[in-house]
Amino acid sequence: MAIQDNLDFFYQKIKNTTTKLLAVSKTHSPELILEAYQTGCKVFAENRVQELVQKYETLPKDIEWHLIGTLQSNKVKYIAEFVHLIHSIDKFSLLEEVNKQAKKCNRVIDCLLQIHIAEEETKFGFDFEEAYQLLQDSKFETLENICIKGVMGMATFTDNTTQIRNEFRSLKDFFEKIKNQINKKNVVMKEISMGMSSDYEIAIEEGSTYIRVGSAIFGKR
C-alpha cells in the first residue's frame, strides 16, 4: 500500500527530531484520506475552506484539521468550531475575525503568523517587521480568543538549497526573537511550520516543528 509506505518513510525521517508530520490532503478524496487515517495518521491539512468543511463533515471526528491556505475573513465562521491550527494568518483584520468567531464558539483558536521569507513576490504573508509590530500593538492584546503559537513560512521554489536553508533559518531566528522578546498572554511560541515535499529535509535540519507534506505522501495532484 503506497500511502502507508510513504507515511512510514516520513515517520522514519522525523524520528528523534522535534518535527511533526502534517499530511496535506488538498484535492484528494475522502477515501484516500481514510486510507491514510486507517494506517494511524490523524493530522491533515487543507488549503481551501469549502473543501476543509466538506471533509471534516464526512471523515472521522478525531482527525485534527489544519488550515494552511489563504483565508478570507468572511469564511472564518465555517471552520471556527473545529479547526485545530490556522497556519495562514496574514492580516491583522483576519486575526480579529478569527478572534470574534472563536468567541462565539466559546473557544481559543491557535494561529500561526505566515511570514514572507521567499524571494518571490507572489507569496502571501507578513514581513518580519510587520509581524513584530502586530504583536506589539495594544489592540493585539485584547484578542483573548486567539493564541499565536508560532510562525509559518514557504521558501523560494528553487534548486538552490543554500538559499532555501537561509530562508528557513531566518524564520527560525525570527521565531526565537519573538519567543525571547514578546511577553503576552496570547503569544505562546511553540511551532515553526516550514518544509514541503521538495524541501522538508532542510526544514527538519533547521528546526521545523511541522512539515507540510502533500505530493510525497498522496502522489501528484
Ligand X SMILES: *Cc1c(COP(=O)(O)O)cnc(C)c1O
The site for ligand X (CB under 6 A) is made up of 24, 26, 47, 68-69, 196-198, 212-216
For ligand X, give the closer residue by CB, 22 or 98.
22
C-alpha 218/C-alpha 28 separation (Å) is: 8
Residue 69 per-residue DSSP state = S
Least Cα distance to 111 among 154, 80, 137 occurs for: 80
Of the pair 117, 143, the CB lying nearest ligand X is at: 117
Nearest distance from C-beta of residue 91 to ligand X, angstroms: 16
Question: How far apart are the C-alpha atoms of 191 and 207, rounded to whole Å?
Answer: 10
Grid cell of 213 as nine digits: 507534506
Closest residue to ligand X, judged by C-beta, is 214
Q: Which is nearer to ligand X, 156 or 215 (CB)?
A: 215
Closest by CA position to 88, among listed 106, 63, 59, 66 = 66
Burial level of 160, CB count in 10 A (0-12/13-18/19+)? exposed
CB of 204 to ligand X, least distance (A): 14
Give me the least distance between CB of 86 and ligand X, in Å please: 12
Least CB distance from residue 64 to ligand X, whole Å?
Answer: 16
Q: How far is the CB of 90 from ligand X (least distance, A)?
A: 11
Half-sphere exposure of 154 (CA within 13 A, CB side): 22
According to DSSP, the residues that pair with 153 across neighbouring strands are 115
For residues 28 and 172, which CB has a smaller minimum distance to ligand X in the complex? 28
Q: Which lies closer to ligand X via its Cβ, residue 24 or residue 151?
A: 24
